[in-house]
Homo-oligomer: A and B are copies of this chain.
Amino acid sequence: MSVPRLRLGMVGGGAGAFIGGVHRMAARLDDRYVLTAGAFSSREEVCRATARELHLAPERAYPDFEAMARAEAERPDGVEVVAIVTPNHLHAAPARTFLAQGVPVICDKPLTAGLGEAETLAEFVVKSGVPFVVTYNYSAYPMVREARRRVAAGELGEIRLVQLEYAQDWLAEPIEASGQKQAEWRTDPARAGLGGSLGDIGTHAIHLAKFVTGLRPAAVAADLTSVVPGRRLDDNGHVMLRFEGGAKGLLWTSQTAYGHANGLALRVYGERGGLQWRQEAPEVLELSLRGRATERLQRGVAGAGAGGRLPGGHPEGYIEAFATLYAEFADLVLDWREGRAFAPELLPTVGDGLEGVRFVDAAVRSSAANGAWTPVVG
């Protein structure tokens, strides 16, 4: 059976960007999309060059997302899905524009720079009824989903503890001062929002916790730090967590911890067992059940880690997980278009995006109040 490919437009992702290229590889891997149009950069020449490089028709390289929305809406072969890969403060406006036209949106994380616009956007999405996904990509690793299944099946019993960490070292020095583009906007409150490491990577961890355990932080006590002198946003975050229902947790985020390239780790402990998963070795999930040896579950081995593309031992990684979000969103869009029920059980929703921003907001307020326990208002 042949499944139609969706015409994809992209907002952001011009030269010097990192995540735009990732989205494009993710879109290509399973052949569910054809990149057709883009507003890749506010610098016109960059936008055109990017379009040329990507084999787009020249007239479908747009100077801005409004122009793209207008023009594509009038084409019979206009874009059917739009990916938004701009800095945080530039997510909401294009999202609303395309949703208003009935075009499903793939939006990078965190949802927005600030809480107000996150709430507005979330409401807008829900009202629109148009499919929307936030690329909390780590939730698409097969072994993360295996973890989710194990917890859901009750293998660990009721969850007591969720220990989260996400450590990097690329901002251990003030590289934003020398013009590194990724660092520049991520350390700028106007573009990144109130959270630095907390928004950029902490929200990934918080989403993962919920994805695997179903638990959301009810309150936080945070101690955020700008370890690098002069930096305006946190580059290290210590957060104590109290989840709804009584479980507890810790979150450590850092972008200044030498030796960690992209050290996201999740550990969950319940009444009857524990598990751990580390993003830099994503094919493995360690499961420790009461009274038994720790099992080293490996994707593709002995039934673990369904949903991969390759047999066990043939490593899949970051792009593959990202591509899974793209592929599943394509399914969702087709279901929606054809009026079938669409239940994005595994796909991060705008609600997940909103929860991430709420978490950042609460943690920033807690830290400003010297670590006072602060509810994560929902």
Contact = CB atoms under 8 A, between A and B. Distances in A.
Given A31-B55, A301-B261, A314 B313 contact: no
B240 A257 contact: no
A54 interface: yes
A371 interface: yes
A192 to B, nearest CB: 18
A274 B249 CA distance: 24
Interface string A336-373: 00000000000000000000000000000000001111
Interface string A146-163: 000000000010001101
Interface string A247-270: 011101010111111110001011
Give the interface size class of chain A.
35 or more
Interface string A33-67: 00000000000000001001111000000000000
A301 B290 CA distance: 10
Interface in A130-180: 156, 160-161, 163, 168-170, 172-173
A286 B259 contact: yes
Contact of A52 (B1, B25, B270): B1
Contacts of A172: 271, 290
Contact of A280 (B21, B156, B283): B283
A28 B327 CA distance: 14
Interface stretch (A90-98, A114-122, A315-323): A315-323
How many subunits of this chain does the assembly comprise?
Answer: 4
Interface centre among A21, A172, A173, A291 (most CB of B within 10 A): A172
A258 B314 contact: no
A59 to B, nearest CB: 15
Contact of A295 (B271, B275, B294): B294
Interface string A288-329: 111111111110111010000111111111111000000000
A80 interface: no
Contacts of A279: 313, 315
B293 A304 contact: yes
A236 interface: yes
A302 B254 CA distance: 19
A238 interface: yes
A291 B175 CA distance: 14
A373 B373 contact: no
Given A238-B250, A294-B295, 7 more contacts: A163-B252, A258-B270, A258-B288, A259-B286, A263-B313, A314-B318, A371-B372
Interface of A: 1-3, 5, 18, 21-22, 24-25, 28-31, 49, 52-55, 156, 160-161, 163, 168-170, 172-173, 221, 223, 225, 227, 236, 238, 240, 242, 248-250, 252, 254, 256-263, 267, 269-276, 279-283, 286-298, 300-302, 304, 309-320, 370-373
13 contacts: A169-B274, A221-B371, A223-B248, A238-B249, A240-B371, A250-B252, A258-B288, A262-B311, A262-B313, A280-B313, A287-B293, A309-B319, A317-B320
